Every structure is written in structure tokens, then in C-alpha cells.
Amino acid sequence: MRECWLAHGRLRVSDARLISRAEILTAGTGAAVEAAEVAAAEVAAVNAAAVAEAAATAEAAAKAAADAPGRHRRGQSPGC
């Protein structure tokens, strides 16, 4: 009877170790998913900032080109 109890006790310890490993793996996977989501959000924010900066740069370049001396607006002759 004692041997049975010891075997049962060992089984319980083994089960506890397996559960602990499973919990650790699950927690690690959850942390990896969360880190990936944070990284994706950061990339999206950087992309949005880059698009906004590019638009502002293009707008400034267009304004500078329109305001540059020697440039003629559409519909105006060079003599005016």
C-alpha cells in the first residue's frame, strides 16, 4: 500500500511539474503576443508620422516652388 501511495505521490509531483511547464509556456506565449502587438502599434505610429511628414514636406515644396521668383503661374504670360 505504501508503494502505491508513493507512486501516486510521484505522479502528482510529475503532474504539477507538467502543469507548471504548461503555465510557463502559455505565459511566455502570451507575453510574446503582447510584445508583438505593442511593436505593431509602434510601427503603425511611426508609419503615420512618416506619412504626415512626407505630406508636409510635399506641401512646403509646392509652396516654395509657387513662390519662387522667375516662376509663372498657369494662365499668365512671362511678360506680366
Convert the pLDDT of each residue in 1-59 to its tens digit.
Answer: 445 544 545 555 556 666 677 777 777 788 888 999 999 999 999 999 999 999 999 99
What's the CA gap between 52 and 45, in Å, rounded?
11
Note the pLDDT of residue 80. 53
65 and 71 Cβ atoms separated by less than 8 Å: yes
Of residues 71 and 66, more confidence is placed in 66
Quick one: cell of 19? 502543469
